[in-house]
C-alpha cells in the first residue's frame, strides 16, 4: 500500500508521474453482483455524517449580507454573502428575482464562476492592505507602508501644486471600468467634478462604443433586455459569444431554441456559443461590414423591403443632391433657411415636401399624414437661385452602394458561401420577430462602425424594430436624477479614444505598423498620414473633446496600463508625462504596481453600493455588507477616500492661500450673466459631503434611492431587506418598461411616431459630413480590414469566461481551470507549419512589440489568425510585456468626426480605440 507521503512525494516530481499501480488482489476479487444489490452493505453508524454537515454549517456562518460584483461586467447579479466571525466564508446567488411572466423563464440564478469565488479572491495575497508609497523608481516593486494621514496629506499637497501650476485641467480624477455602479462611482465622479478634473469616456477608451448604432439611432446602447431572446424567432449572434460573456443570460438563448427559435452565430472562431447554435457562420476577422452589406444587397434584390416602415421610420426617402452628394437642405431652397430641415419627394403632390420631426423642424412627429414619400427616383427641385437641382433619394444611394456587395462578390472577402448569405437574409426578413445581437468585438475593428451601421440598415429595411426585433447592442437603462450627486459642477469630460491616442503618442506605433501606405490606402480609402491629420483636426475643431494632458492622475478601478494598446510604448509615454500618479485599488494589478501612491480600496462585499443601469435585466442590486464584517487590512471605500482627499486638498489649499480657482473653461449663469465656474477649494469637503448629508457610502445609497426616479417607490429599509429592487417603468429610454414584458427600444418611435434623437429625426443612413463623403461612406458601405500583410496573422483577443477584463484574471481558482499561465490559440495546421506543439512556449511579435505565452492547439481557431483570451495582466508575462504590447495604435477616421447633427461628442458619440486590426507572427520561443 502506498503511503500518503509517497503519494505526495511522487506528485511533486514533474514529468515522471505514470499511474501508480495498485495491489490487484482487492480489485480482481470476484463479487456477486446480485448479492451485492440484495444486501446493502453494513453501516454500523452514520454518526460520522455530521462531519460534512458541520463543515457546511461553518460556511453558512453567523452573518449574512447581499452583494453584486461591481466590475465592468454588465451581468449585475444578486448574491447572498455568508460570513463567520467577521470573515466572508462563501457566496451564493440570491436567486429570488420574481418571474415577470409565466411564459418567460425567470432570471434565477444570476451569477457566474467569477462571482462564486470572490469570497476567496478578496483575501488573496494580491490584496493591497494599507497605503503605500513607492521606494525607488516607478514599477521597481519596492514599497514603504505609510499611514492614511500621511498618504492623504502628501497627495493633497501635490494635487494643490498641480492645480496651482496647471489649473484644474492638470489633474485627472478618473473612475475606470473597474467601478461602474452608481454608489461606488459617485465618489470619484463628485470629487473630480467639484475640482473640474479631466475624466475620459471609459466606453470609447476600451473600444466599447457602438458608433454604428449612434449614427443610425443617435443612441449607441439600444436593443432589448436579454429575456427578450426567449420570444425571438430568429436570433443572429454576431461578433458576440454570450456563453462566455453573458453567462447569467445565455440560458434565454438555449431556452429560446427549445421554444423553436433558430439561432445563428457569426464569428471567426468556433466559439462556445457557436457550438449550441443551429448554424455557425465562420467569417474572416474584420470583414463583417462586407457581410452586412451583402445582406442589404439580398434584401434589396429580392424585394424583402418593408416599405411602410422605411418611409416613415428612416431617412431613406430623404433627397440627396446628385452634384455634391449632400442631403438637400432648406438652405438649398430658401434665402432665409431653417437649419436641419430636409426634404422627401411626395408622390401624391409630385413635389418636394419638408420632412417633419427632423432636428430643425418645429413639428415633433414622424407621422406622414397624407404624404407618400418616394423611395426611389430622380427629381429636379428649384434652388434658391431659381436654378434646378438634380436630386435622388438616400434609398437609391444605398441601393447603388449595395449593388457592389452581392453574396458572390463578398464571398472571397468574408469566406462565406453565397448560399449561406441568401438563406440567412431570407430567414431574417421572413421571421416575425428577428434580432441581431452584437457584442463588443465588432467595434474593435476599424470598420466595426460600418458593420454595425449596415446591420442597422438590414434591420430597418426589413422593418425589424421594437417588439419585432432589430439591432441589439448593449441595452442600458436611463435611471435619471444622479446629476446633482455625480456632476455638481462641470468636469473636463474628454474623448476616450482620442485622449488615449494623444496620451500614449499612439500615432507612433500606428505609423510603424501601417508603414505600407499603399496597402493601407487601398483598404481605408486614405493614406495613414491622413488618419493622423483627421485626429488632429478632430482635436482642433473640438469634434471630440480634449482638455490637454493631465500632469496628475488619481485613478480608481482603472487598469490603465493593462487596457491600453501598444502597452510598453503607452506606459512609457504616459508615465514620462505624469508628475503624480495615485492608484486606488483592492489588489495589486498591473497599473497599481506603477503608481507613486497606492491606496487600499474595498472589494465587492465590503462597502454599501447599488447598481441599476444595466439593461440586460430590470433589477437594481444592492451591496449590504454582512453585519460585523471585519475590514480587510486598512481598506476604505471610494467615498471615504474621496472625502479624505477633499478634506486634505481643502486644508492644503487654505494653508497655501489658494482658496479658489477661477475656471474660465466653463461658464455658468450668475445673476443672469455668464460667469466662469469657480472651483471652491476652501469649501471642498463641505461641498463634497453635501454639507454633511453624505458622510458615508451608506448615505450615498440612501440618497440614490430617494433621488433616482427609476428606483421609486422603494424605501431604503425595504431595499436592504431584499438585496435588490425592481426598476419601475421610467427606466426605459425610448419605451416604457412594462411590468410583465421584456423591454425593447424604440416603441415611442415606432408606435407613437416620436422622432429619434438624430439629425433626420429618423433612423439615419446618410451622413454628409466632409469626412464621410471623403471616405465614400455617406451611406453604409464596407471596407477591408487593415491587418498589414507584412505579418501573416490577424491578432484577435475576445473576452474570456475567467475574468471581467483583468478582474479575477490572475486569481488562482480561475488560473487552475485554465493552463496556469497565459496561452494563445493556434489552429493545428498553423502550428504544424510553424513547428509548434501544444504546450510549447511561443513568442508572438510584430514591429510594435512582443510577448511570450503558451501555445494551445485549438481546431476551432481559423488558420490565418492568432486568438488569445482577453485581458491577462501584463505582469503575468515574461518581462511584463503583455498581450497588448504588439497592438498598434489606431483610430477609425469615421469615428473622429463631430459637429454634424447628432454626431456630437458626448455620451452618445465618441471614437473608439481599436484593438483587433494588428498583425503578428508567432514562433517557438
Q: Please check whether residue 832 is in contact with residue 895, taking contact to mean a CB–CB distance below 8 angstroms.
A: no
66, three cell numbers: 447581499
Kindly identify the residues of this chain, within the stretch 572-601, that bind other proteins according to CB under 8 A. 588, 593
Alpha-carbon distance of 127 to 336, in angstroms, equals 66
Select the residue interacting with other proteins from 174, 254, 507, 514 (CB under 8 A): 254
Select the residue interacting with other proteins from 18, 385, 789, 835 (CB under 8 A): 18
Question: Chain-centre distance of CA 440, in angstroms?
Answer: 6
Alpha-carbon distance of 492 to 170, in angstroms, equals 10
Nearer to other proteins, 143 or 905 (CB): 143
Nearest-approach distance from CB 827 to other proteins, in angstroms: 6
Told to check if 860 binds other proteins by CB under 8 A, we report yes
Nearer to other proteins, 539 or 870 (CB): 870
Cis before 713? omega within 30: yes
Q: At what angle do helices 182-195 and 638-655 cross, to 10 degrees?
A: 10
Nearer to other proteins, 250 or 897 (CB): 250
Q: Please check whether residue 858 is in contact with residue 825, taking contact to mean a CB–CB distance below 8 angstroms.
A: yes
Told to check if 521 binds other proteins by CB under 8 A, we report no
Select the residue interacting with other proteins from 247, 442, 491, 775 (CB under 8 A): 247
Nearer to other proteins, 59 or 378 (CB): 59
Select the residue interacting with other proteins from 409, 828, 906, 921 (CB under 8 A): 828
Nearest-approach distance from CB 443 to other proteins, in angstroms: 24
Nearer to other proteins, 332 or 593 (CB): 593
Select the residue interacting with other proteins from 67, 81, 112, 296 (CB under 8 A): 112
Nearer to other proteins, 121 or 222 (CB): 121
Told to check if 2 binds other proteins by CB under 8 A, we report yes
Kindly identify the residues of this chain, within the stretch 791-810, that bind other proteins according to CB under 8 A. 801, 810
Nearer to other proteins, 511 or 841 (CB): 841
Q: φ and ψ at 796, to 5 degrees?
A: -125, 135
Nearer to other proteins, 21 or 303 (CB): 21
- Whole-angstrom CA distances from 754 to 341, 356, 476, 901 are 16, 10, 20, 17
Nearest-approach distance from CB 13 to other proteins, in angstroms: 7
Alpha-carbon distance of 481 to 503, in angstroms, equals 33
Number of residues that bind other proteins (CB under 8 A): 135
Told to check if 406 binds other proteins by CB under 8 A, we report no
Select the residue interacting with other proteins from 63, 72, 81, 111 (CB under 8 A): 111
- Whole-angstrom CA distances from 52 to 56, 91, 611, 825, 891 are 6, 18, 36, 41, 57
Q: Cβ of 847: how many Cβ atoms within 10 Å?
A: 17
* Residue among 765, 732, 761, 737 nearest 749 (CA): 761
Told to check if 821 binds other proteins by CB under 8 A, we report yes
Select the residue interacting with other proteins from 81, 155, 244, 389 (CB under 8 A): 244
Told to check if 109 binds other proteins by CB under 8 A, we report yes
Alpha-carbon distance of 537 to 524, in angstroms, equals 18
Q: Please check whether residue 783 is in contact with residue 445, taking contact to mean a CB–CB distance below 8 angstroms.
A: no
* Alpha-carbon torsion angle 263, 269, 271, 274, nearest 10: 20
DSSP string, 601-638: B--TTSS-EEE--BTTSSEEEEEBPPTTPPPSTT-B-H
Nearer to other proteins, 109 or 377 (CB): 109
Kindly identify the residues of this chain, within the stretch 717-756, that bind other proteins according to CB under 8 A. none
Nearer to other proteins, 33 or 789 (CB): 33
Select the residue interacting with other proteins from 819, 841, 843, 904 (CB under 8 A): 819
Q: φ and ψ at 180, to 5 degrees?
A: -125, 5
Select the residue interacting with other proteins from 62, 130, 164, 279 (CB under 8 A): 279
Told to check if 403 binds other proteins by CB under 8 A, we report no
Nearest-approach distance from CB 62 to other proteins, in angstroms: 17
Specify the 3-state DSSP secondary structure of 59.
helix
Nearest-approach distance from CB 572 to other proteins, in angstroms: 18
Told to check if 716 binds other proteins by CB under 8 A, we report no
Name the one range near other proteins by CB under 8 A: 187-195, 457-465, 665-673, 852-860: 852-860
Select the residue interacting with other proteins from 147, 324, 419, 706 (CB under 8 A): 419
**Count of residues in the chain:** 925
Select the residue interacting with other proteins from 76, 182, 197, 277 (CB under 8 A): 277
Task: List alpha helices for 345-406, DSSP H.
Answer: 394-402
Nearest-approach distance from CB 693 to other proteins, in angstroms: 38
Nearest-approach distance from CB 862 to other proteins, in angstroms: 6
510, three cell numbers: 500606428
Cis before 857? omega within 30: no
Told to check if 336 binds other proteins by CB under 8 A, we report no
Select the residue interacting with other proteins from 84, 133, 164, 272 (CB under 8 A): 272
Alpha-carbon distance of 218 to 179, in angstroms, equals 26
Kindly identify the residues of this chain, within the stretch 28-87, that bind other proteins according to CB under 8 A. 28-34, 36-38, 40-43, 45-46, 48-49, 51-53, 55-57, 59
Nearer to other proteins, 206 or 420 (CB): 420
Select the residue interacting with other proteins from 601, 862, 886, 898 (CB under 8 A): 862
724-726 and 619-623 beta bridge pairing:
antiparallel
Kindly identify the residues of this chain, within the stretch 133-172, that bind other proteins according to CB under 8 A. 140-143
Told to check if 236 binds other proteins by CB under 8 A, we report no
Alpha-carbon distance of 58 to 365, in angstroms, equals 63
Told to check if 12 binds other proteins by CB under 8 A, we report yes
Told to check if 879 binds other proteins by CB under 8 A, we report yes
- Whole-angstrom CA distances from 82 to 61, 154, 621, 635 are 6, 38, 17, 20
Nearest-approach distance from CB 28 to other proteins, in angstroms: 6
Told to check if 925 binds other proteins by CB under 8 A, we report no
Instruction: Identify the H or E element spanning 45.
Output: none
Instruction: Identify the H or E element spanning 715.
Output: none
Name the one range near other proteins by CB under 8 A: 173-181, 385-393, 720-728, 857-865: 857-865
Sorted by sequence, the CB contacts under 8 Å of residue 662 that are 6+ apart come out as 676, 677, 678, 679
Name the one range near other proteins by CB under 8 A: 192-200, 244-252, 346-354, 523-531: 244-252
Alpha-carbon distance of 611 to 183, in angstroms, equals 7
Told to check if 672 binds other proteins by CB under 8 A, we report no
At residue 203's C-alpha, the angle toward residues 701 and 802, to 5°, is: 80
Told to check if 103 binds other proteins by CB under 8 A, we report yes
- Which own/partner contact pairs does 571-579 have at CB distance under 8 Å and 24+ positions apart? 573/503, 573/504, 573/505, 574/503, 574/504, 575/138, 577/503, 577/549, 577/551, 578/550, 578/551, 578/552, 578/553, 579/158, 579/161, 579/162, 579/551, 579/552
Which residue in the block uniquely carries the three cell numbers 414622424? Answer: 366
Told to check if 481 binds other proteins by CB under 8 A, we report no
Nearest-approach distance from CB 179 to other proteins, in angstroms: 21
Nearer to other proteins, 56 or 751 (CB): 56
Nearer to other proteins, 48 or 336 (CB): 48
Site string for other proteins, 880-919 (x = CB under 8 A): x---------------------------------------
Told to check if 345 binds other proteins by CB under 8 A, we report no
Alpha-carbon distance of 662 to 196, in angstroms, equals 10
Nearest-approach distance from CB 653 to other proteins, in angstroms: 34
Amino acid at each position: 500500500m502506498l503511503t500518503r507521503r509517497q503519494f505526495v512525494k511522487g506528485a511533486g516530481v514533474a514529468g515522471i508521474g505514470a499511474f501508480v499501480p495498485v495491489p490487484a488482489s482487492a480489485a480482481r476479487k470476484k463479487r456477486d453482483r446480485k448479492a451485492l444489490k440484495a444486501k446493502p452493505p453494513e453501516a454500523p453508524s452514520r454518526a460520522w455524517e455530521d462531519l460534512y454537515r458541520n463543515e457546511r454549517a461553518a460556511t453558512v456562518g453567523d452573518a449574512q449580507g447581499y452583494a453584486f460584483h461591481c466590475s465592468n461586467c454588465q451581468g449585475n447579479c444578486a448574491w447572498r454573502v455568508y460570513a463567520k466571525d467577521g470573515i466572508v466564508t462563501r457566496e451564493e446567488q440570491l436567486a429570488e428575482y420574481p418571474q415577470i411572466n409565466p411564459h418567460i423563464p425567470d432570471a434565477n440564478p444570476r451569477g457566474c464562476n467569477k462571482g462564486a469565488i470572490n469570497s476567496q479572491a478578496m483575501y488573496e495575497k494580491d490584496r493591497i492592505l494599507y497605503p503605500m508609497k513607492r521606494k525607488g523608481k516607478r514599477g521597481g516593486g519596492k514599497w514603504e507602508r505609510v499611514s492614511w494621514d500621511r498618504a492623504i496629506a502628501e497627495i493633497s499637497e501635490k494635487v494643490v501644486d498641480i492645480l496651482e501650476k496647471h489649473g484644474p485641467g492638470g489633474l485627472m480624477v478618473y473612475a475606470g471600468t473597474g467601478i461602474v455602479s452608481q454608489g461606488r462611482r459617485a465618489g470619484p465622479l463628485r470629487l473630480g467634478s467639484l475640482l473640474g478634473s479631466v475624466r475620459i469616456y471609459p466606453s470609447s477608451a476600451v473600444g466599447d462604443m457602438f458608433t454604428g448604432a449612434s449614427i443610425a439611432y443617435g443612441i449607441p446602447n439600444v436593443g432589448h433586455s436579454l429575456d427578450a431572446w426567449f420570444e425571438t424567432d430568429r436570433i443572429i449572434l454576431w461578433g458576440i459569444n454570450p456563453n462566455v460573456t453573458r453567462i447569467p443570460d445565455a440560458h434565454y438563448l438555449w431556452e429560446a431554441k427549445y421554444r423553436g427559435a433558430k439561432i445563428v452565430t457569426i464569428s471567426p472562431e468556433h466559439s462556445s456559443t457557436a457550438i449550441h447554435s443551429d448554424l455557425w457562420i465562420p467569417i474572416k476577422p474584420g470583414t463583417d461590414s462586407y457581410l452586412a452589406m451583402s445582406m442589404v444587397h439580398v434584401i434589396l434584390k429580392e424585394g424583402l423591403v418593408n416599405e411602410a416602415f422605411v418611409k416613415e421610420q428612416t431617412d431613406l426617402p430623404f433627397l440627396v443632391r446628385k452634384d455634391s452628394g449632400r442631403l438637400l437642405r432648406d438652405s438649398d431652397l430658401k434665402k432665409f433657411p431653417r437649419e436641419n430641415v430636409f426634404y422627401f419627394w411626395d408622390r401624391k403632390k409630385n413635389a418636394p415636401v419638408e420632412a417633419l420631426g427632423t432636428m430643425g423642424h418645429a413639428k415633433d412627429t414622424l407621422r406622414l399624414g397624407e404624404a407618400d414619400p418616394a423611395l426611389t427616383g430622380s427629381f429636379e427641385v428649384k434652388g434658391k437661385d431659381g436654378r434646378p437641382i438634380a436630386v435622388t433619394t438616400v434609398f437609391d444611394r444605398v441601393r447603388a452602394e449595395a449593388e457592389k456587395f452581392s453574396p458572390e462578390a463578398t464571398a472571397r472577402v468574408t469566406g462565406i458561401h453565397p448560399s449561406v448569405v441568401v438563406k440567412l437574409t431570407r430567414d431574417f426578413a421572413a421571421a416575425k420577430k428577428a434580432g441581431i445581437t452584437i457584442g463588443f468585438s465588432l467595434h474593435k475593428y476599424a470598420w466595426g462602425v460600418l458593420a454595425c451601421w449596415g446591420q442597422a440598415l438590414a434591420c430597418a429595411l426589413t422593418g425589424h424594430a421594437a417588439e419585432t426585433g432589430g439591432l441589439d447592442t448593449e441595452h442600458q437603462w436611463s435611471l435619471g436624477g444622479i446629476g446633482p450627486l455625480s456632476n455638481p459642477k462641470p468636469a473636463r469630460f474628454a474623448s476616450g479614444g482620442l485622449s488615449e491616442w494623444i496620451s500614449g503618442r499612439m500615432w507612433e506605433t500606428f505609423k510603424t505598423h501601417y508603414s505600407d501606405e499603399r496597402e493601407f490606402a487601398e483598404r481605408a480609402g486614405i493614406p495613414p498620414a491622413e488618419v493622423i491629420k483627421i485626429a488632429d483636426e478632430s482635436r482642433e475643431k473640438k469634434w471630440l473633446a480634449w482638455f490637454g494632458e493631465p500632469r496628475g492622475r488619481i485613478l480608481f478601478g482603472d487598469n490603465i496600463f493593462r487596457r491600453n494598446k501598444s502597452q510598453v510604448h503607452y506606459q512609457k509615454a504616459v508615465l514620462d508625462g505624469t508628475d503624480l500618479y495615485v492608484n486606488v485599488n483592492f489588489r495589486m494589478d498591473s497599473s497599481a504596481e506603477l503608481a507613486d501612491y497606492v491606496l487600499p480600496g474595498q472589494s465587492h462585499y465590503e462597502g454599501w453600493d447599488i447598481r441599476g443601469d444595466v439593461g440586460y435585466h430590470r433589477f437594481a442590486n444592492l451591496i449590504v455588507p454582512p453585519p460585523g464584517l471585519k475590514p480587510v487590512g486598512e481598506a476604505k471605500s471610494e467615498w471615504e477616500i474621496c472625502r479624505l482627499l477633499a478634506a486634505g486638498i481643502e486644508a492644503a489649499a487654505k494653508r497655501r492661500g489658494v482658496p479658489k480657482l477661477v475656471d474660465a473653461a466653463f461658464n455658468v449663469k450668475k445673476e443672469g450673466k455668464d460667469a466662469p465656474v469657480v472651483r471652491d477649494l476652501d469649501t471642498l469637503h463641505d461641498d463634497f459631503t453635501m454639507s454633511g448629508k453624505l458622510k458615508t457610502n451608506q448615505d450615498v445609497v440612501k440618497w440614490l434611492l430617494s433621488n433616482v426616479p427609476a428606483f421609486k417607490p422603494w424605501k431604503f429599509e425595504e431595499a436592504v431587506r431584499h438585496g435588490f429592487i425592481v426598476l419601475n417603468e421610467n427606466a426605459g429610454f425610448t419605451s416604457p418598461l412594462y411590468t410583465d414584458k421584456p423591454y425593447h427600444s424604440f416603441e415611442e418611435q415606432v408606435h407613437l411616431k416620436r422622432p429619434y434623437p438624430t439629425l433626420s429625426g429618423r433612423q439615419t443612413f446618410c451622413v454628409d459630413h466632409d469626412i464621410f463623403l471623403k471616405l465614400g461612406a455617406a451611406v453604409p458601405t464596407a471596407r477591408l480590414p487593415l491587418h498589414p500583410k507584412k505579418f501573416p496573422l490577424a491578432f484577435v483577443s475576445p473576452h474570456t469566461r475567467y475574468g471581467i477584463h483583468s478582474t479575477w484574471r490572475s486569481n488562482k481558482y480561475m488560473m487552475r481551470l485554465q493552463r496556469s499561465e497565459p496561452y494563445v490559440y493556434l489552429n493545428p495546421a498553423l502550428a504544424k507549419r510553424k513547428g509548434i506543439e501544444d504546450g510549447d512556449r511561443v513568442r508572438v511579435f510584430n514591429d510594435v512589440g512582443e510577448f511570450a505565452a503558451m501555445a494551445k492547439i485549438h481546431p476551432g481557431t481559423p488558420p490565418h489568425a492568432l486568438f488569445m483570451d482577453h485581458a491577462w495582466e501584463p505582469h503575468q508575462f515574461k518581462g511584463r510585456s503583455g498581450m497588448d504590447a504588439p497592438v498598434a495604435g489606431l483610430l477609425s477616421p469615421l469615428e473622429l468626426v463631430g459637429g454634424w447633427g447628432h454626431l456630437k461628442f458626448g455620451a452618445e458619440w465618441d471614437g473608439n480605440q481599436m484593438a483587433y486590426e494588428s498583425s503578428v507572427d508567432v514562433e517557438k520561443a
